Amino acid sequence: MEAALIATPPLPSSEREKDAATTCETITLSVPDIVCGSCIRIIETALQSVRGVTAARANLALRRVTVMVRRQGDDIHPDASDLVSSLRRVGYTAAELIEGMDTAASRNRTGELIPRLGVAGFAAANIMLLSVSVWSGEVSDMDNSVRDLFHWVSALIALPAIAYAGQPFFRSALAALKAHRLNMDVPISLGVLLATGMSLFQTIRGSEQVYFDAATTLVFFLLIGRALDESMRVRARGAAENLLSLRAMTATVVSEDGTAKSLSARALTPGMRVMVAAGERIPGDGNVITGTSEIDESLITGETVPRTVAVGSHVHAGTVNGGGALLISITSSDENTLLAEIGRLMTAAEQSRGRYVRLADRAARFYAPAVHILGLLTFASWMIMGSGWELSLTHAIAVLIITCPCALALAVPAVQVAAMSRLFGRGIIVKAADGLERMSEVDCVVFDKTGTLTLAQITLIEDQSVDRAVLSRAASLAITSRHPYAQALVRSARDRHIAIEAIEDVQEVPGCGLSHVENDVEERLGSAQWVGANVDQNPEASLWYSSRDGELTGFRFIDQIRPDARETVQNLRSAGYQIELLSGDRPGAVERAASACEISQWRAALRPSEKLTRIGDLRAEGRKPLMVGDGLNDAPALAAGFASISPASAVDISQATADAVFQGDRLGSVIETMMVAQAARQMALQNFAIAIGYNLVFVPIAMLGHVTPLVAALAMSTSSIVVTANAVRLRTKKLRLKPARSAQ
């Protein structure tokens, strides 16, 4: 039997980690006040200091925090309210994340910014008209009293406008200062208030120059940048949130007497029967009782071709019924559906932190202290040069405004979310950001055969004579496993209407197969070596059964090569990637698959330990292998690979141990994942260059006095918008596979 029949691995640790005494529970908080990299450090430090918190990860792009807390029995210590209180003490408002709340909060934030933006724009335009009049009057000898009047009118417009329009920045800065910390809005608010205060002082003195036009225009541009940034964040919103927003809200429940009533989809329980009309979304996972239809599963699998379903077919929540009405018996609902499980995996992936994110976070932490020091140095330097406090303060204000950590803090998270969203749209789920980063660096690809190069729908060859009683007993063992050969045996027994018994205490032995002991007598199902069979007796057999009386039966199967397997291998090879095929199947079957896919380097009849050894050898040679295996029986090799990806049926998604899983029949998903990973790496580096280059160029220019506060505001807003827009571009960018590094 190819590789191993192994026990199903536990849920990923990002969801729930268990030990003998406690479990870890995930609590996700929405924190709308996250504005910069220093916020991430403060929030994570505050939460990690709470007793019972094992980990905390803040995400700037999504404005949320994922916290792992210990759970004792039914009690969670600490709970969400404790975490919210700890964040309130350091100046952040937070709430436990509720589905749709982030989207609603984003709309509220945008709705709050728009009227403030209008007021700031109105004030800036009118004050600019007055300023132009004053500038013209200087040429035409305007009377000083008229000039002072215009200055006072400008002050009357500017002061209430700035007080109202600048509140988003002032509130954030005040909350930070009350908590004895600094964030991005502190220097921004300081710059606005200094410009306004200096202008008011100059107006009272009757000076020729005031800066109300700069102060109001500054707030106007800052609000434009904040509004556009909010819009970009919504566009870069995680695939998980977009996915869960498409769930059915209500369901038509049909009772035993045939009456129907509408019920919330959340209230569905296993065993309920629901009627789904054409065009409706299926409200829960379940089995079709009556009806035939075509189901659009693109939301789950990325496949655009509808799947035909009939009585007995399993369907999933969120998919669309495209044909006739279906009566479905619910098996899972709400948070227990496949849709919810995929959402949890996607959320965990989007909030995971790769090495580039950690680098950006560390750099952004030094922003607030550095910008205040630079502003002070600018003011002191210009004062020493005898420029006067007004000009010195103006240049210092420009420095305070122009330095922006947002571009750096958003450089990688925005790319990460966009990449995972694109992959999810093609039926590929990446489980961690560091896995995506590693996939961008692979230089060789190692394939498993069964269920990887070939489709998982293996069939038992019908021309072999197998005793019905033997097939019944073997299928009764096989039904406890998800291995393709085991499932094929079960399907064959059912197709022949052979009874399958429920056998308890069946053990799966990694690398071997299945075993059942009763009254000290053992029966086995698995590889020839596991059951003690002589392969010469039936060289084409891939699965063997050893009965309780010692009789051996070999089963021969046929499996179909994936439609695009050969094309995928050719594309990888032409790009310079080394290709290998490692299989536990018999040599004849492996040779046929290798020949069909034009793979020259192949090995057959390998145990999991031998696959592991080969992966280790490749890494010892300096290679970075991508292991492509079925995710259930190739766990050691998948874990040993530099990166890994698994083809997985819907029920296997949460159990697969690979960095990523893909659904559907297309092996080209492997290349798609590699291309997106390579593009994401390139865009992350581009964003780093933009963010760092911006600060290296504009900060010295501002310190030298060549940038006004108005231009500084425009430049600061533009930098974060450019970085986020570059990341969003990944969703639609046409990609190509880059040559392997060893081939360059």
Residues labelled catalytic: 448
Pinpoint the alpha helices (H) of 13-66. Answer: 37-48
Q: How far apart are CA 375 and CA 3, in angstroms?
A: 64
CB 155 within 8 A of CB 135: no
Coil, helix or strand at residue 415: helix
- What the block records as the tokens of 127 is 């004050």
Separation of alpha carbons 385 and 395, rounded Å: 13
Using CA of residue 560, residue 564, residue 568, residue 569, what is the dihedral sign? positive
Q: Which amino acid is at 281?
A: R
- DSSP code of residue 605: S
Give the largest CA-CA distance in the chain. 116
Please give the Cα distance from 126 to 19 (Å, whole number).
66
Nearest alpha-carbon partner for 724 in 682, 679, 698, 691: 691
Amino acid at site 244: L
Q: Euclidean distance between the first and final Cα of the chain, in Å?
A: 39
State how far the Cα of 223 lies from the Cα of 188, in Å rounded to an integer: 12
Write the burial class of residue 81 (CB in 10 Å: 0-12 exposed, 13-18 middle, 19+ buried): exposed
3-state secondary structure 418-475: HHHHHHHHCCEEECCHHHHHHHCCCCEEEECHHHHHECCCCEECCCCCCCHHHHHHHH
Residue with tokens 């199947």: 585
DSSP percent split of the chain into helix, strand, coil, nearest 5: 50, 15, 35
Q: Please check whether residue 182 is in contact with residue 38, taking contact to mean a CB–CB distance below 8 angstroms.
A: yes
- Indicate the length of the chain as a whole number: 744
d(CA 729, CA 679): 10
Question: Do 561 and 596 touch, CB atoms closer than 8 A?
Answer: yes
Element (H, E) at 514: strand 513-518
Q: 260 in helix, strand or coil?
A: strand
